[in-house]
Amino acid sequence: MGNQDRLHELETLIRAGSINHRRQALDELAQMPSEAVIPLLEKLSHSENFQIRRVAVMGLGNHRTAKAFQALKDVIDREQVANVLAEAANSLFEFGEPSIPLLQEL
């Protein structure tokens, strides 16, 4: 099975799965290459469902790259749901010192 097929399966689990399936998908996504995973998590961070957005920002915290950091900044700029914002703050915290100004703003 190709990487893209597995990413699609994991996206399906996140979108329709139970909380346990979502966690399992996040754990697997954390082990995959950032360049493959971050676009999926960015897409999910725009979902109408706040629970899916929350899972997406959790996943972004597992990939400490400039692209993931920017995606989290974008989430903070547009997000209205406190639950998702709190999870975005938790994920930003994983980036250490560069996240301090953003966290202070929140």
For range 12-31, the mean pLDDT = 92
CB proximity list for 73: less than 8 A, separation 6 or greater? 102
* pLDDT band at residue 1 under the 50/70/90 scheme: low
For range 26-48, the mean pLDDT = 96
* pLDDT band at residue 40 under the 50/70/90 scheme: very high
Query: What's the pTM?
Result: 0.92
Quick: pLDDT tens for 84-104: 999 999 999 999 999 999 899
CB-CB contact of 37 with 29 (8 Å):
yes
CB-CB contact of 56 with 47 (8 Å):
yes
Measured distance CA(25)–CA(33) in Å, rounded: 14
Quick: pLDDT tens for 42-80: 999 999 999 999 999 999 999 999 999 999 999 999 999
Helix (H, G, I), strand (E, B) or coil at 96: coil
* pLDDT band at residue 106 under the 50/70/90 scheme: confident
